[in-house]
Amino acid sequence: MATTTYRRIEAVSKAIGILEFLATQKGPVTGSDIAKAVSLPVATVMSQIITLQDHNFVRNAGAGFELGMGAAMIWARKKALLEGERHRIDNDIQKLGEVQ
């Protein structure tokens, strides 16, 4: 079997860094505040912010930005899938208990 080496995508790492920073903030922060916190140029941060806004991961809040609902929506979908799976497993376990 051939081994493939994949490389990390720096832009994705930068976006995650921005999201992690925003997740720790109690209120909106400016693009320059984000840039300082994640050690990136403001222009890079703003390009990331615009893209993250397009996908609802960041939202404009007055003169700053804050975490959007994109991540929460993904988690809600995952949670629903897991709950559906748990319901199916619980039913299977109950049926096995009835077989005794």
> Alpha-carbon distance 9 to 56, whole Å?
21
**Whether this model's pTM surpasses 0.85:** no
Amino acid 1: pLDDT:
66
**Coil, helix or strand at residue 1:** coil
φ and ψ of 12, to 5 deg: -70, -40
With 0-12 / 13-18 / 19 or more C-beta atoms within 10 angstroms meaning exposed / middle / buried, residue 28 is middle
If you classify domain 1-68 with CATH, what class do you get?
A: mainly alpha
Amino acid 69: pLDDT:
94
pLDDT in tens, the chain (100 residues): 677 899 999 999 999 999 999 999 999 999 999 999 999 999 999 999 999 999 999 999 999 999 999 989 999 999 999 999 998 898 888 888 887 6
**For 91, how many CA atoms within 13 A lie in the half-sphere containing its CB?**
6
What does the domain layout of the chain look like in residue ranges? Answer: 1-68, 70-100
Using an 8 Å Cβ cutoff, are 33 and 64 in contact?
A: yes
Q: Give the tokens for residue 47.
A: 């390009």
Q: Which residue has the tokens 């319901």?
A: 87
